[in-house]
Every structure is written in structure tokens, then in C-alpha cells.
Chain A
Amino acid sequence: MTALLELEQLHYRFPGSAEPALRGASLRLETGQRVALLGRNGAGKSTLLLHANGLLRPSSGQVRVAGAPLVYTRRGLLAARRQVGLVFQNPDDQLFSASVAQDISFGPLNLGLDLAEARRRVAEAAALCEVDDLLDRPTHALSGGQKLRVALAGVLAMAPRVILADEVTSGLDPWMRRQVVAIFNRLVAQGVTVLLATHDLHVARRWADRVAVMDAGQVVAVAPSAEVFRDGELRRLIGADACMEG
């Protein structure tokens, strides 16, 4: 079976930086998985996600979406981004419109959908993320948790098959975190794969069925979460020993 998203041996160094950010990182995602991506700050989690979405181009290695290598042209990138959605850590970096409804409609319209279909997608994504009552509100009047859910809806409205979320649960209170995790679960039930880069070991342990561990620009392990939390070396890498959790 071909994987939904495949990152193979990615190498990348940020311009002007001495150390490479990725040194041969590989990851494979199948349909309907719940994956947590763990690793300390600077391990390369965000850089890896930016590659999966075609925002960064590896110096060597390959990104494959549904078996097809990512082509770095306008059309190729649009085709990949239609399948792979990326939610950023700070919703204020992602929300550009002062209108919630207009912001969510941005992605669908870029896919070339007509207005009626785009409207349908906005309503659907808003309902899924429980922001349908906020559609007429100005973006700047929303709370942090509401902004995050609107940002998520903006990505879901493009109907991607993989959602990559970068640290979105950090800074949320437990109730809000549970609400966001519930949205992820609904997506997984629809066959969407969700990958959550996080430091939240509680979420990684209780929610994810697989945990990928990054260290120094490489994915050093991908395994069922119970296994990762049993392995002494991996526990050290994800910081399970450094905190009271686990």
C-alpha cells in the first residue's frame, strides 16, 4: 500500500545557519492515523512540517504525497497543499482577514471552487470546529482558543487528507485542549490523518496511536505510544523523565 504522505531522507540547512536543521529525516503516514511528533526544542519538528507542505524545499531527499513526488511548481505545490494541510502554532500568524467567514473561505477559493461550493465548505468546516456561531464576528474579538479553532477551520475547508498541527495545544487550558482533541478525533473518524507536533506528553500518551520521536534533525523512532513510553532512551529524548508525567 502506498503511504498517504512520505518524507524520505530529508536534509535541510537554514540559510546562514551552521548546523543543519534536518539530517536525513524520514517519516511515513498512513490513512486515518493519530500521530504525535515529539522531541525537544530545536530537534527539527517544525522544519519537518514545513517540508511536508512544500513551504521549504529539501537540499536532498524526497517528499511524496499519495505516492507522487512533490513537484515544486505552482501547480505541483497547490496539488500537494490540497492534500496536506498545515496549522501553525500561533493563530494570529495565520488569520489574515478581519472577518471569520472570509478567512475560512480563502483556502477553498484558492482551490478554484465556485462561490456556492466555497460557502458550503466554510459552513461545514465551521460546524466541525464549533465556530459556526462566530462566522459574523470580527477576528480581533475572538479569544485565543476561538482563534485557533477558526485557523483550524480555514485549513479543514480545503478538505485535506492529512492535517499537520504545530504545537497547537500548548497554551490551551485543559477544557480547550479537550475540545481541540475532539475535533481531531472527528477528523480521524472521517479517515483524515492527524499529526500533532507537541511537547504535551499527556496528549501524546492518551490520544496518539503512534509516536514519532525526533532528535537532532532525524526521526529516531516511530512506534505505538506505549512502546515509546517504555523505552528508556526514548523516554529521555521526549523528556518523559524530566517531568512528572508518564
Chain B
Amino acid sequence: MHIIDRYAYSNAIRGVDPAQKGGLALIAMLLCLALEQPAVGLLTLGWMFALATLWARVPARAFGRALLAEGPFLLLSLVGVALSVSLAPLAGPALRLGPFWIGSSPESLFLATRLFTRALGCAAALNFLILTTPLLDLIELLRRLRVPETLIDLMSLTYRAIAVLLESLQRMATAQDARLGYAGPWRALRSAGLLGSQLFLDAYRRSQRLQMALESRGLAGSLRVLPLAYRRDRRARWFGAALAASLLLAGAWR
């Protein structure tokens, strides 16, 4: 989370309107989902990598690490699609493990490939968005799209609370560690449980103090704040057109 946050705030297109960046990611995801060809997913990955590294100047390593973090989830779901397990012998090549037959077929392999490239393209598009756009700007985008205010307030408070509670968590864990709270697995488990309950209490007290602080500044039902200012980048439109055209081409090619 820290890496993503760091680049989201420091990349070269931080000030570009989140609607433009979100639009690009949305085009990529929709076309990835709509078009069947595995090449579409791979091409999307290429596009998003290029946009993130060349346009937004996010280091290739950061983009790769974000994608690698998502990799295990993707692979796990692929195993279920590519392999079939049965008690009876399977048609085609299969491996016998005790009473089970584990096998695969060309169709399921093809299905898995398609799923993999599709998911990879979508993940890359989302990575491009979150590596270039702080959550703050995404919330601002939702606000402009007229998402109900209560949801917006909840999202922004949650985002802020994550940072505040992480700090509390680290402080408490250090205090426990200093008194050997994590020496040995059983003691560690007990300490972690205590930490969880204390963190809950801490969050509860904080919410009461926050309520008071907001009231003292004249809270009027919702958390009204100034809209943020962004610049629009002319290139975004060309990127969008080229992206859509190339993905459509790749999707139509057989």
C-alpha cells in the first residue's frame, strides 16, 4: 500500500484530471472484457505499462511489483479452470494421484489462457489508475459523478482512518514487543489478540473525538470541502483513441 501511495502522489501526471486517467483505464477494461482474443489482454498490458512508465514516469519496477502482488491470486484461480480432478479416468493425458485423476484438455487450457490474459489486462489497467491517481482524486471523481454524499464521506473517512489506525497499530505493537510480547508463538498470538481489541477501543474513542472536532467546526450533516483543481492533458484523448483502435483491431484479427 505504501508503494502505491507513494507513486500515486509523486508521478508525473498526478495533477491530470482523474476523469481522463479513469477514462483510459475504463476503456481498456471494457474492451478487455468484451473482446475474446488473448492478444487483447496482452496488448492492454503493454499499453498500460507504457502509459505508466513513459507518460506518468512510474518506475517499471513499481508497476511490475504491483502486478506481481496480484499474480498469486490470478494463478490460483487459473488452476481451477485449467485442471480438472475426477475419480474416474479422464479423456486425454492425466495424472493419477491415489484415487484421483488430475488432467487437462485443450479446451480448458484455452479457456484458462483467455481468462489469464483478460484478467491480466484488467489488472494492468487498474494498476495504471491507482499508481497514477491518489485515492483522494478517485473519491473526488466519484463526487463529481454524483455518487451519494454519505458514501463519499464514508470513503474519505475510512481512507484517513487507515493512516491514523496504522500509526496506532505500530505504536502498540512496538510497546508490546518492547516487553517481549512476541517472544514465542503462543505469546505472540495472545499479544496480537490484545492488540486487536485495544485497536478497536482506540478507534472508537478516536471517532468520538473526531465527531467533537467536526462539530466544533460547524459540521452540517455532510463533509463539504473545496473541489480540487486539475489540469487536462490534451494527449489523453489521443491515447484513448489509439488505445481503443488498437485493441479493437487486435480483437477482430484472427
Contact = CB atoms under 8 A, between A and B. Distances in A.
Contacts of B9: 137-138, 141
B254 interface: no
Given A92-B164, A138-B9, A102 B226 contact: yes
Nearest to A118: B226
Interface stretch (B31-39, B70-78, B155-163): B155-163
Contacts of A155: 217
Contacts of B226: 101-102, 105, 109, 115, 118-119, 122
Contact of B218 (A101, A111, A115): A111
Contacts of B228: 99, 101-102
A86 B214 contact: no
B213 A98 contact: no
Interface in A91-118: 92-99, 101-103, 105-107, 109-111, 115, 118
B183 interface: no
Given A106-B225, A109-B225, A139-B160, A96 B218 contact: no
A55 B215 CA distance: 7
A98 B217 contact: no
B209 A88 contact: yes
A134 to B, nearest CB: 12
Interface range, A side: 35 or more
Contacts of A78: 218, 220
B218 A107 contact: yes
B206 interface: yes
B216 interface: yes
Interface of B: 5, 9, 134-136, 156-157, 159-160, 163-164, 167, 206, 209-210, 212-220, 223-228
B213 A88 contact: yes
Interface of A: prevailing SS: helix
Given A93-B209, A97-B156, A138-B9, A81 B217 contact: yes
Contact of A98 (B160, B209, B224): B160
30 contacts: A55-B212, A55-B215, A77-B215, A81-B216, A85-B216, A88-B213, A92-B206, A96-B157, A96-B213, A96-B223, A97-B160, A98-B134, A98-B135, A98-B136, A98-B156, A98-B159, A98-B160, A105-B226, A106-B214, A106-B225, A109-B225, A110-B218, A110-B219, A110-B220, A115-B226, A138-B9, A138-B134, A140-B160, A140-B164, A154-B217
Interface of B: prevailing SS: helix
A187 B5 CA distance: 36
A53 interface: yes
Contact of A97 (B134, B212, B225): B225
Nearest to B137: A99
B217 to A, nearest CB: 4
A216 interface: no
Nearest to B224: A109
Given A106-B225, A141-B9, A93 B206 contact: yes
Given A103-B225, A115-B226, A158-B218, A95 B209 contact: no
Contacts of A138: 5, 9, 134, 136
A34 interface: no
A90 interface: yes
